[in-house]
Amino acid sequence: MFIHHCGEIVDVNEAFIEMTGYAREEAIGMSFLDMIAPKDKEMVLQHMLMKEDDPFDAIVYKKDKSSIAIQAKCCNYPYQGKSLRVVSCQDVTKQKIYSQNIEYLAYHDELTGLPNRALFQEYLALKLNVAKMEKERFTVMFLDLDNFKPINDSLGHDVGDIVLQQTAKRLKSCLRRGDTVCRLGGDEFTILLSNGNLNEVELIVKRILAVFEEAFEIEGYSLYVSTSIGISLYPNDGDNESTLLKNADVAMYEAKRQGKNTYLFYNDRMIEQSFDQLMIESEIRYALDRNELLLYYQPQYELTTNQLIGIETLLRWDHPELGLVTPEQFLPIIERTGHIFPIGEWVLKSACENNKKWQDQGYPCVPISVNLSTKQIKDSDFVETIKTVLNETGMDSQYLMIELNDLSEVINETDVVKQLERLLKLGIRTTMDDFGKSYRTFDYLKKFPIETIKIDKSFTKDITSSTENEAITTAFILMAKKMNLNTVAEGIETKEQLDFLKKLQCDEGQGYYFSKPLPCAEFKDRVLSGNVPKGV
pLDDT tens for 371-404 read 988 788 878 788 999 999 999 999 999 999 999 8
Q: Which residues of 371-397 are buried (b: 16+ CB within 10 A; e: fewer)?
A: bbbbbbbbbeebbebbeebbeebebeb
* Parallel, antiparallel or unpaired: strands 227-234 and 221-223: unpaired
Query: Which pLDDT score, from 0 to 100, does residue 536 have?
Result: 47
Q: Is residue 112 one of the residues assigned to a domain?
A: yes
Mapped onto helix, strand or coil, the DSSP state of residue 81 is: coil
Calculate Rg over the CA atoms of the chain.
35
Same-domain pairing of 82 and 135: no
Single-letter amino acid, residue 86: V
Q: Where is the domain boundary, 267, 288, 305?
A: 267
Q: In what order do the strands lie in the sheet with 138-145?
A: 180-185, 188-193, 138-145, 227-234, 263-265
Q: In this structure, how many other beta carbons lie within 10 angstroms of the beta carbon of residue 503?
A: 10
DSSP 385-422: HHHHHHHHH---GGGEEEEE---TT---HHHHHHHHHH
SS (H, E, C) 446-463: HHCCCCEEEECHHHHCCC
Same-domain pairing of 412 and 452: yes
* Parallel, antiparallel or unpaired: strands 429-435 and 452-455: parallel
Same-domain pairing of 349 and 465: yes
Same-domain pairing of 320 and 361: yes
Q: For the chain, how many structural domains are there in total?
A: 3
Same-domain pairing of 315 and 448: yes
- Residue 206 CB contacts under 8 Å (≥ 6 apart), including other chains: none
Q: Is residue 489 one of the residues assigned to a domain?
A: yes
Single-letter amino acid, residue 281: E
Residue-wise pLDDT tens digits, 471-512 = 888 988 998 898 899 999 999 999 999 999 999 999 999 999
331: CATH: 3.20.20.450
Same-domain pairing of 231 and 261: yes
Residue-wise pLDDT tens digits, 215-272 = 899 888 888 899 999 999 999 899 899 899 999 998 998 888 777 889 999 987 776 6
17: CATH: 3.30.450.20
Same-domain pairing of 216 and 352: no
Query: Is there a contact between 149 and 205 (Cβ–Cβ < 8 Å)?
Result: no
Same-domain pairing of 428 and 493: yes
Same-domain pairing of 260 and 285: no
Single-letter amino acid, residue 61: Y
* Residue 534 binned pLDDT confidence (cut-offs 50, 70, 90): very low
Mapped onto helix, strand or coil, the DSSP state of residue 263 is: strand
Give the structural domain span for 387: 277-528
Q: Is residue 533 one of the residues assigned to a domain?
A: no
Residue-wise pLDDT tens digits, 63-85 = 898 888 888 888 887 777 777 77
Q: Is residue 171 one of the residues assigned to a domain?
A: yes
